[in-house]
Each structure stands twice: as C-alpha cells, then as structure tokens.
Amino acid sequence: MSRHQISLLAIAVAAVTALAPSPASAQPKKAPVDCEQVKCIALTFDDGPGQYAGTLLDTLKKYNAKATFFLEGQYVKSRPAFVKRMAAEGHELGNHSYSHPDFTKSEAGKIRSEIQKTQDAVKQAAGVEPKLLRPPYGLADLQVSDIATAFGMPMILWTGGSHDWDTKNVEAIKKKTLEVAQRDGIILMHDWVKQTVDAMPSIVKTLQSKGYTLVTVSDIVKRQNLQPGDIFPVPEGWER
C-alpha cells in the first residue's frame, strides 16, 4: 500500500469514527419543534409524579406526544423511576416546590429550600435540573420572583385549566380541556387525578385530530425570550 493510500485510509477511518454515535449521546434527543410552523399546545401535569404517571407516560408514548411535569420534590423522592422515565422519553421536568406551600405566605429561606430540594431530587432521579418554576397554586409575588431570578428560572402559569381536581369526571375533564385548548396554550392538569389519566387517550387523539402537536412548555415559550424571574402568562395586576 502506498503512503498516499494509507493516509486516505486513515481519513476514512476517522470519518467513520466521527459518524458513529458516541455513548455520551445515548439520551434520546427531542426533535426541535417550531411553533411558528405547527399548531402547538402544551399539556402540563402538576403535583406529581402521581401514582398514575406510568399509565399517562404509556399514553403519551403511544401517541408520540410530549408533556411537561411540574414536579413536587417529595414525590420525586418517593417515585424516582417515573421521573427518570419522563426525562428519558423527552418530556420536560419543571419545579413545583418540595411540599406545595403558598410561596406568597412563606419566608424567603423556606422558598429557597423548597426550590433547591426539588432541584436536587430531580437531578438525582433523572440527571437533569428543571429550568422552569411553577409556584404552588400559581401564586407569586416580587419576593418569589427575586428568588426565581437567583435560581435562573422563569415562572410558568397556564392559559387554561382542566378543572380535573375539582370535577374528577372523565367526560367533564375532556370537555373542559378541549374547551380551553388553543394554539400555544398551556393547560393545567394533574397526574394524581385518575380520571385525567383515563381521559388522556381520548384528549390526545382529539387534539391531534384538530391539528395540534403536543409539545413541552419550553417549545411554546421559546419565542417569549423569558428571563429568570419573569412570569408567563403575565397574570392580571402583575407589575415588575
């Protein structure tokens, strides 16, 4: 073999090596979604992982739908396998405090520890840290915003609620969810409500038949260019 051929061979080997998937990229990458181009909606599930999260994840997987889970640290601790699976299957993980206190009635130290303990629990369970905060009950004030800023997190509320925790009825949950569904909407649901999880196959199929792509909150808010401490959607009377 001539020297020229050997160097060509070396280049070919290098090229093949570069193309081969490296073990470091074993985590499935979520394909980017452009909500300018497609009709997006984000279903969000609070207070979990709830005991029915596994069934919900099966449904989302079956219909190739993504969701966002605003997790409560205490349940991340007790059900870490669900959290790991959520991340592995391309869903977004958000922080919803550790034990669900009203942050607007809490001392700064308490708020910080509620957020930090949940960040730590999610990191331990799934190897990723939430980038979004949903304060319990959707209640925030300037102190909460300042603390969210320190954590580098915007706060995410919702554009519509399924009222699932209230009705606990499959038909009512489906009806309300479809009623509040809108392009780029962020819908509040709960994976500890069994009837929500039961209603999900029908809700997902109906939304998809109406042309929606079910995406994560980060896909929806990409164009908002949210900064840490920002709140979205901005609630009435909110001033920064």
| Residue ranges binding Zn ion (CB under 5 A) | 46-47
Q: Which is nearer to Zn ion, 191 or 230 (CB)?
A: 191
CA distance 151 to 24: 27
* Residue 46 bears catalytic tag: yes
Q: Of 91, 96, 163, 190, which residue is the catalytic one?
A: 190
Q: Which residues contact 100 (CB under 8 A, 6 or more apart)?
A: 47, 72, 136
* Residue 184 bears catalytic tag: no
Q: Which is nearer to Zn ion, 48 or 213 (CB)?
A: 48
Q: Which is nearer to Zn ion, 47 or 230 (CB)?
A: 47
Q: How far is the CB of 134 from Zn ion (least distance, A)?
A: 7
Q: How far is the CB of 47 from Zn ion (least distance, A)?
A: 4
Q: Which is nearer to Zn ion, 47 or 114 (CB)?
A: 47
Neighbours of 25 (CB within 10 A): 8
Q: Cβ-closest residue to Zn ion?
A: 46
Q: How far is the CB of 32 from Zn ion (least distance, A)?
A: 29
Q: How far is the CB of 168 from Zn ion (least distance, A)?
A: 16
CA nearest neighbour of 190 among 216, 214, 167, 222: 167
Known catalytic residues are: 46, 190
